[in-house]
Structure 1
Amino acid sequence: MSFIDECRIRVKAGNGGNGAVSFHRGPHLPKGGPDGGNGGRGASIYFEGNPNLQSLLDFKYQREFIAKRGQDGRGKDCDGRSAEDLVIPVPLGTRLHDEKSKETWDITEAGQKLLMASGGKGGRGNRSFRSSTQQAPRIATPGQIGQERELRLELLSLCDIGFVGLPNAGKSSLLKALTAARPKVADYPFTTLQPQLGVMELEGHSVQMADIPGLVKEAHQNQGLGHRFLRHIARARNLLVVLGLDSERSLESSLDILLSELRLYDPKLLEKERLLVVNKSDLLTHSEDLRKDWENFQKLHPESLLISALHQEGLSELKRRLSEKGSVAKDPSPPAFRSSFGR
């Protein structure tokens, strides 16, 4: 399925119905009083959080949403019917930007509804203008115009744990090993071009994880997948930093790049709780240089965990560490786990 995480749309609430000019007529009332009804209210437009949606794909095919107008008033004191409001479902984590006013709103909970365009009020029929000095008014007002907005929708993945790592660190393989997710896995950079979500069951509660496109040097300047990566990781409650053993770059160098890019994009990202894992332990038996790199790194970061997602080595310990920190899904306010490095 295609993944769309940003789009621009136009929303237009319904106009109010027009008020009516009418007079009551009957066999014995040739000149009855005014009985023109009021117009109905136009439909408003709401956005509602839907946990079953994972993408803004639907907006690829529909970029304009126009709600229905209210019904016009009629004679015999009949008010027009108000139009039914239009509710547009969006994934949790959707941020809405008004391109004109620069206002911003976030939808983060299932069932959360935001009023984004108010329907116009119905016009007044001549019945409402009758007074002691004006017994037969021949005036009515039109319905008000419905509100209109130009919106930019941006999806920021909501998850308990976001995977952070350089391209080809093995994040997708780890997500696949820990959850039922089936992301694309291959031995080349940028296999993951869009966020992949998975759920891990931990002692009676669920933890939602997200593998997010790999980070490269100068990502804060929008290099590689740049801002597209960084804006997704901003919504993760905690970070799982995944480093892959690599003959071209030391583990410490990889970590420096990651932390530097997070800091340059938004220093608050480094305030998130973090756990550090080193992937591809199966390569240690084939390379003395990689083994020395791991040993040196472990001295600097003794709490780091060595794993192999491919051979599922060290995963039980990783799950245990995550489980020890409590139910991150049930109560997101306490820290889910402590940082294993102090930068």
Structure 2
Amino acid sequence: MTTFVDRVELQVAAGNGGHGCASVHREKFKPLGGPDGGNGGRGGDVILVVDQDVTTLLDYHHHPHRKATNGQPGAGDNREGKNGKDLVLPVPDGTVVLDKNGEVLADLVGQGTQFVAGQGGRGGLGNAALASARRKAPGFALLGEPGEARDIVLELKTVADVALVGYPSAGKSSLISVLSAAKPKIADYPFTTLVPNLGVVTAGSTVYTIADVPGLIPGASQGRGLGLEFLRHVERCEVLVHVLDTATLESDRDPLSDLDVIEEELAQYGGLGDRPRVVVLNKVDIPDGKDLADMIRPDLEERGYRVFEVSAIARQGLKELSYALADIVATARAAKPAQEATRIVIRPKAVDDAGFTVTKEADGLFRVRGEKPERWVRQTDFNNDEAVGYLADRLNRLGVEDALLKAGARAMDGVAIGSDEDAVVFDWEPSMSAGAEMLGRRGEDHRFEAPRPAAQRRRDRDAERDEAQGEYDGFSPF
């Protein structure tokens, strides 16, 4: 059974926002007490959080679909809906979050680091929140927005100071088992290690982590063997340790050629050229191994490598190696710049940014894209004429009507708001008054007003007609 997984595809869905409520307050002797519909609750977010106790992505391998809870709808008497509960997903330290196209969304390093993988939908406003001096009795409410849903990829890159690399059965697992308290599987056949092993080493006042990366072979950077799966686990290390087998039984191999092959694979993978290298000649407790180590050591030192002769079985040369690695790690840590405080970059919108775009497509359809118009469309109940008229007013005030005219749109041309997947498409009628003739002054109910003299009613009616003509002539979503 698989116990270690370092790459998974995860489908996350945040919670939907709750719908707003359209309600009128009623009590004895006061049947029309005004709008009192509450707002809907916010949908829950999907949040990835680094947890030091989590070391594998196995749980997400078995359960790749994760969804936060929805917000509750609002209710009458100004009762707001309950917010959805956030879904917190613990991930190992060193997890990289990518989108389905391979673009990095977040690099999660450090206990408690968070990333919102799915944003919960906003709750819809109830008719109490939509009421104003001009719209005293809205007969509609806004719908809750759907939560963000997307496919992401989680990749684990082991966070270690030292990475042991080398051919299968070179003795990496044995070495990490004697340098630290790690207990990897050890056997005398290739590919014994199928997952990276991580151990903690204490050398004097320096404590560092050491990772045993599964065996590499020629072509690993192109996908042969296990190399492509685990090469990314050496990316975060401070020093690379080449573990060379001086007592190999394979006649076509020798330590120098093994070193050249591994270096070539690291170069093909890329991004590791600046890491310091150390060479460990392992198995020198065997006579033939000691003779070979003495023979090739001058050649390695001539190449600029620091060379250590060790035996994991006989525990020879381990102390010198451990302290040497501690010095390199301490030097690398000291050379790193101090952790800077998190900066918030503010990018104000341009003064001429309308907040939306209008483009004419090849088939003659005019498409409107923008955060506000698309969100307003999602919040509109198209079964309610008053809600549709409210949408028309909002789009008109935003300038969509003028932009369509400038783009060359004419009566009965097709207009779509949103992307292909969730667009609202309609025939544009610039001469219509957005439903004003049918609905009057939307959201006003004269039953809430005190009686007015006849002359005043006539003057108000004339003013309303003139205002409606000026305000509503233009955009209509139908």
TM-score norm. by structure 2 comes to 0.66
Distance 2:330 2:168 in 1: 29
Q: Which residue does 2:145 correspond to in 1?
A: 144
Letter of the aligned partner of 2:256 in structure 1?
Answer: E
Which residue of the partner structure matches residue 182 of structure 2? 181
Q: Does structure 1 residue 254 correspond to structure 2 residue 255?
A: no
Match among 324, 329, 333 for residue 336 of structure 2: 333
Distance in 2 between residues matched to 1:310 and 1:64, nearest whole Å = 46
Contact 2:239/2:328 (CA < 8 Å) preserved in 1? no
Residue of structure 1 equivalent to 2:222: 221
Say whether the 8 Å CA contact 1:279–1:309 is kept in structure 2. yes
2:118 maps to which residue?
Answer: 117
Paired position in structure 2 for 1:42: 43
Within 1, Cα distance between the matches of 2:334 and 2:212?
A: 22
Alpha-carbon RMSD across the aligned residues, in angstroms, is: 1.9
Q: 1:41 to 1:100 in 2, by over 3 A?
A: farther
Match of 2:325 in 1: 322
Q: CA deviation at 1:101?
A: 7.7
Query: Helix, strand or coil for the counterpart of 1:10?
Result: strand
Q: CA deviation at 1:156?
A: 1.2
TM-aligned CA deviation for residue 291 of structure 1: 4.7
Q: Deviations over 1:257-278 (max 9, x none)?
A: 1111111121x21211221110
Q: 1:68 to 1:329 in 2, by over 3 A?
A: farther
Q: Deviations over 1:62-113 (max 9, x none)?
A: 1111111111111111111212211110001111111158343211111000
Deviations for 1:13-39, whole angstroms, at most 9, x for unmatched residues?
001010001111112322110000111
Distance across 2 between alignment mates of 1:89 and 1:58: 10
User: Is the 8 Å Cα contact of residues 166 and 216 (structure 1) preserved in structure 2?
Assistant: yes
Question: Quick one: structure 1 residues 38 and 154, their matched pair in 2 at CA, closer, same or farther if it must change by over 3 Å?
Answer: same
Structure 1 residues 71-80 or 293-302, which shifts more? 293-302
Deviation at 1:204, TM superposition (A): 3.1
Question: Match of 1:84, SS?
Answer: coil
More strand by share: 1
Q: Which amino acid aligns with 1:201?
A: T
Within 1, Cα distance between the matches of 2:326 and 2:153? Answer: 38
Task: Note closer, same or farther for the CA distance 1:293–1:101 as it changes in structure 2 (3 Å cut).
Answer: closer
1:43-192 equivalences under 5 Å are 43-99=44-100, 102-192=103-193
Q: How far apart are the structure 1 equivalents of 2:219 and 2:101? A: 31
2: CA distance, partners of 1:53 / 1:328: 29
- 1:309-342 Cα deviation digits (max 9, x unpaired): 11101111112212334637965828xxxxxxxx
Deviation at 1:128, TM superposition (A): 1.8
Aligned equivalent of 2:31? 30
C-alpha change, 1:264 and 1:83, in structure 2 (3 Å) is same
CA–CA distance in 2 between the matches of 1:101 and 1:291? 47
For 1:188-238, what per-residue CA distance to the aligned partner results, in whole angstroms no more than 9, with x for missing partners? Answer: 111111101111112234211110111101111111112112111122222
**Partners of 1:19 and 1:254 in 2: CA distance:** 68
Gap runs ≥5 in structure 1: 335-343
- Cα-to-partner distance string for 1:23-57 (whole Å, 9 max, x where unaligned): 11112322110000111110011100111111111
**Fraction of identical pairs, as percent:** 39
Q: 1:55 and 1:330 mapped to 2: Cα distance?
A: 26
Within a 5 Å distance, the mapping from 1:288-303 to structure 2 comes to 290-302=289-301, 303=306
Amino acid at match of 2:326: S
Q: Does 1:304 align with 2:303?
A: no
- Taking the TM superposition and a 5 Å limit, the aligned residue runs for 1:250-289 are 250-266=254-270, 268-283=271-286, 285=287, 287=288
Q: Match of 2:242, SS?
A: strand
Q: Which amino acid aligns with 2:265?
A: E
CA distance in 1, matches of 2:321, 2:198: 18
Structure 1 residues 183-192 or 101-110, which shifts more? 101-110
Is the deviation greater in 200-209 or in 179-188? 200-209
Q: Which has the larger radius of gyration?
A: 2
What is the SS of the residue equivalent to 1:271? coil
Report the TM-score, using the length of structure 1 for normalisation.
0.91
Structural mapping, 1:12-31, within 5 Å: 12-31=13-32
Answer 1 or 2: which has greater helix percent.
2
Aligned residues of 1:206 and 1:329 also touching (Cα < 8 A): no
The answer as to whether partners of 2:161 and 2:329 remain within 8 angstroms in 1 is no
In structure 1, what is the Cα distance between the partners aligned to 2:20 and 2:145? Answer: 11
Which residue is 2:242 aligned to?
241
In structure 2, what is the Cα distance between the partners aligned to 1:329 and 1:321? 13
Q: Which amino acid aligns with 1:98?
A: D
Q: Which runs of 5+ in 2 are unaligned?
A: 338-478
CA shift in 2, pair 1:78/1:329, >3 Å: farther
* Distance in 2 of aligned mates of 1:182 and 1:101: 34
Distance 1:325 1:2, change over 3 A: same
Q: Name the residue aligned to 1:341.
A: none
Deviation at 1:294, TM superposition (A): 2.1
Aligned counterparts of 1:239 and 1:3: Cα–Cα separation in 2: 23
The structure whose RCO (Cα within 8 Å, separation 6+) is larger is 1
Partner SS, residue 191 of structure 1: coil
Does the aligned pair in 1 maintain the 2:239–2:329 contact within 8 Å? no
SS in 2 for 1:282: coil
